[in-house]
Structure 1
Amino acid sequence: MRIGFIGAGSMGSLLMSAFIRVGALKPDQIVSSSRTLSKLSALAERYPGLQIASSNRQVAIGSDYILLCVKPMDYRCVIDEIAPVLTPNQIVISITSPVMLSQLEELLPCKVVKIIPSVVNGVGSGATLFMWGTRLNVEDRAELYQLFSTISQPIEIEEEEVRAASDLSSCGPAFLAYLLEEFIVAAVSMGMDRQTATSLASEMMLGTARMLLEYPCTPSELQAKVSVPGGITEVALEVLRKTTRGAFMQVLNTTHEKFAEDLDRVEGALFPRERT
């Protein structure tokens, strides 16, 4: 198997490192291109055998999978470069939500799939969101599931669900990290050492996630397990509920508004209207 990565930014390099670290891929199975050669050189030095391509076209030739790890507005330029050398049996993987599967299938002669990763895939955790193109067969789907299962929990969704799903799985780590930071700052203001507070908060978050998944229980049930009627946790929870009620609805409304703007911009970049 040969896998090509077009783009070696934060997510491209994270995925390459994650696959290599768990043994799903050997460095010599990976070929990558990037506008920033220093990033690729650092990866190749860390993982001897990883191949540096001189162009996106070189990445595409002969790769079984080609991951597009570039910004949405750069897609058309990359597609124009690689489309002439792609074959029907190759699979292009898009990792960005505003580029639609139907758009990719219109512009590319191969199979396409949208897989949205998360930063926590870098430690072999979290979900990857799967949306299938129309040209993939059962074997294609099984092989992709198997590959990404090594670093994540693949979850199949409908493409129209991608924004809300991405808010949870991809944006979620940043949202929760912000809340955790606020919690830590409050503890430090009460006299606790910051390093100790950070360790306690991080272990708490890890344990909470494991309990929700492995116990299992719902978030509401977990709140009930921790709270004692009239106790400290119950009183504090009521304060938290009052101060945060509706906050995440505002967050999701904001991400959906931005997503709608991005869809229009990407559509214009992929299919520019002829100037009159």
Structure 2
Amino acid sequence: MTGPRLGFLGVGEIARAMVEGIASGPRPYDRILLSPRGRDNVAALTARFPDLEVAGSNADVVAGSDVVVLAVRPENLAEAVAGVSFRPDQVLVSALAGVPIARLREVLGFEGDIVRSIPLPPVSERASVTVVYPDHPAGTTLFDLLGGTLVPADEEAFAVFGGVTATFTAFLDYVRTISAWTTERGVDPADAERFVRSAFAGLAPALRDLDRPLDRLVRDHETPGGFNEQLRQGWFDAAAQDRLRQELDALHERARGE
């Protein structure tokens, strides 16, 4: 054996992204074992990476793994682990949103090490920082491989990051709305979408430059009295920002499991 055995309980979209990222390069794991849940994703992954193994049941995943990734829907957790026996020497890495460690212990009856995580789709390309709590070698080994690890001070701070992840589709819908408006003004839909997608994707290098604070990025991308400033001040004014903060507060409470 060259490394620990990694198992996945649930193979939905996030688990699929994780497995793609892990399997597409050098791996620190002796084996990667998938549960039969998420049949289409399992079939696609094993077709691409034939050395992945598919267990007959969730119980078999746990029995054959040292590190177990919990990647089922929170409401399906109890069903997924029914009849499953965890060993005290295992490490559980939870990708369940809004389920605190205390609740996981209650449902699983597990007193070993549990690491919470917030993996995002770009882990499939090893290109996304993952928030984990608490700091644990099993978590850092896994997520450093997938783009990097960020460990907050406590589980309360972890929940703040959980709330942030709820903003992504709102951003995408913002981009979609701009593209739709462009089309409504007579532009060909394909041209509108091509331009708008390209324009927003072009912001990625600036966002990755951690030496440029976000308030500076705003200033760098607008001219006083220019078009960008007009839209930002006219639409995303103080009232709109307060509304966003209120929604984030509500999401934070939900991410805390309350």
Could you say which TM-score interval applies, normalised by the shorter chain?
0.7 to 0.9
The alpha carbon displacement at 1:105 in A equals 4.0
Instruction: Please report how far the alpha carbon of residue 38 of structure 1 lies from its aligned counterpart in structure 2 after TM superposition.
Output: 4.2
The letter for the 2-side match of 1:88 is: P
Residue type of the alignment partner of 2:90: Q
Q: Which deviates more, 201-210 or 13-22?
A: 201-210
What per-residue deviation string (whole Å, max 9, x for no partner) do you get for residues 197-255 of structure 1? 33433343344242133163223212212222222322232222238333322431442
**Which letter does structure 1 place at the counterpart of 2:97?**
S
CA spacing shift, 1:163–1:184, aligned 2, 3 Å: farther
After the TM superposition, which residues 47-58 of structure 1 pair with which residues of structure 2 at under 5 Å, given as runs?
A: 47-58=49-60
Residue 165 to residue 36, structure 1, CA distance change in 2 (3 Å): closer
Deviations 1:141-166 (A, max 9, x none): 24531321222331112211233212
TM normalised by structure 1 equals 0.79
Show the counterpart of 1:149.
144
Aligned twin of 1:211: 206
Q: Compared with structure 1, are the counterparts of its residues 39 and 142 closer, same or farther at alpha carbon in structure 2 (3 Å cutoff)?
A: closer
Structure 2 gaps of 5+ residues are none
For the residues of structure 1 that align with 2:210 and 2:143, how far apart are their CA atoms?
24
Q: Which residue of 2 aligns with 1:160?
A: 156
Tell me the distance in 2 between the aligned counterparts of 1:89 and 1:163.
Answer: 27
In 1: Cα distance, 2:210 partner to 2:171 partner: 21
- CA distance in structure 1 between the aligned counterparts of 2:98 and 2:224, rounded to whole angstroms: 46
- 1:224 corresponds, among 211, 219, 228, to 219
Q: Does 2:11 match 1:16?
A: no
Which TM-score applies when normalising by structure 2? 0.83
Q: Distance in 2 between matches of 1:25 and 1:179?
A: 40
Return the offset for 1:91: 0.7
Output aligned runs, 1:161-240, within 5 Å: 161-168=157-164, 170-214=165-209, 216-240=211-235
1:256-275 equivalences in 2 (<5 Å): 256=252, 258-259=254-255, 263=257
Q: 2:244 aligns with which of 243, 248, 259?
A: 248
Aligned to 2:5: 2
Query: Would you say the 8 A contact 1:105–1:111 is kept in 2?
Result: no
Q: In the superposition, relative to structure 1, how do residues 182 and 231 fare at CA in structure 2: closer, same or farther (>3 Å)?
A: same
**What is the Cα-based RMSD across aligned positions, in Å?**
2.7
Give the unaligned 5+ runs of structure 1.
265-276
- Distance change >3 Å, CA 254–CA 67, structure 1 → 2: same
Query: Does structure 2 retain, via aligned residues, the 8 Å contact 1:118–1:128?
Result: yes
Question: Residue 116 of structure 1 is aligned with which of 101, 118, 126?
Answer: 118
Aligned residues: 251
Q: Return the offset for 1:128.
A: 1.1
Kindly state the Cα deviation for residue 172 of structure 1 after the two structures are TM-superposed. Answer: 3.0
Q: Which amino acid in structure 1 is aligned with residue 209 of structure 2?
A: E
1:4 aligned partner, one-letter code: G
Q: Which amino acid aligns with 2:83?
A: E
